[in-house]
Amino acid sequence: MSSEVRHLVDSARPYPMVRLIGVLDSGSAPQVRSVLLDVLAGQPEAIVVDVGELAVGEPDAVSVLRDVRQDTFDWPGARLTLCNTDGADAWGDCGWPVRPDIDEAFAQLGPPKAGERVNVELEPQVGAARRSRELISGACSEWGRAELAGSACIVVTELVNNVVQHAHTEMTLLLAVHGEAVSVAVRDHSAGVPSFTGAPAPTSYGGRGMLLIDSVASRWGSLPLTDGKVVWALISDDVRSMTGPDRG
């Protein structure tokens, strides 16, 4: 019989803190993954995970933390930190820095950077893409990256219209600074994940949405969630450095 892990999310701190309670094994690892991805889908700058009350039932199950780190490395690219009062022995191979307690974890992260993230709820209605482009243009100008606004607007138009036309769910537009780049992401509540198989035939209709995104984004991909997905793209001056969700 597999174990169960309970969780508590404290959003009142500078960064979200997730407290995991129970036993981590092959049965509970998918639950832990879902909990962490759901928090990361909100595009925090960092998260702290308290594993002081999470026992490792199967050492191999710790690999779920490595998987979460790899799957979210490009987006949202959050800084990930574990805190455990019993030391780092059980977690040393997870790829996350481990701090002895919560206070040190937050001290090492430092204060959040103000004004570098935008989070807006949108209805799946005509005009949502236009509203998104307005938000992107304003954010890129404020962040000193006006030259990236055109490509970012192409991306958001395709992502938002895809939700309006196909997913028909509420969505969240997420924008952020990533070094010299900016990220554009849309979270919806449909399990359908976009795919890219190259340019469509010249005589075909449609199928060019992801081609457009692939042509202007440095990197893009999707993050499946229990209640939908996030589709994201990184926009930078050097589009050819990395292209596509599975390249580079």
What would the pLDDT profile of 93-147 be if each residue is shown by its tens digit? 889 999 999 999 999 999 999 999 999 999 999 999 999 999 999 999 999 999 9
Distance of CA 194 to the CA centre of its chain: 16
Superfamily for the 117-241 domain: Histidine kinase-like ATPase, C-terminal domain (3.30.565.10)
CB 157, CB 180: distance < 8 Å: no
Domain ranges of the chain: 5-109, 117-241
- The structure tokens 């990930």 sit at 80
Of the listed ranges 8-12, 194-198, 199-203, the one predicted with least confidence: 199-203
Is pLDDT above 60 for 70?
Answer: yes
pTM of the model: 0.89
199-217: per-residue pLDDT in tens? Answer: 444 333 334 567 889 999 9
Specify whether the CB–CB gap between 241 and 220 falls below 8 A.
Answer: no
Of 49-58, 190-199, 211-220, 237-246, the range with the lowest mean pLDDT is 237-246
> Which CATH architecture group holds 5-109?
2-Layer Sandwich (3.30)
Specify which residues 201 forms β-bridges with: none
CB atoms closer than 10 angstroms to residue 98: 18
What are 1's two structure tokens? 């019989």
Contact between residue 11 and residue 112 where contact means Cβ atoms under 8 Å apart: no
Contact yes or no for 244/178 (Cβ under 8 A): no
Q: Provide CB contacts within 8 A for 139, sequence distance 6+.
A: 118, 175, 182
What sign for the dihedral angle of Cα 103, 108, 111, 112?
Answer: negative
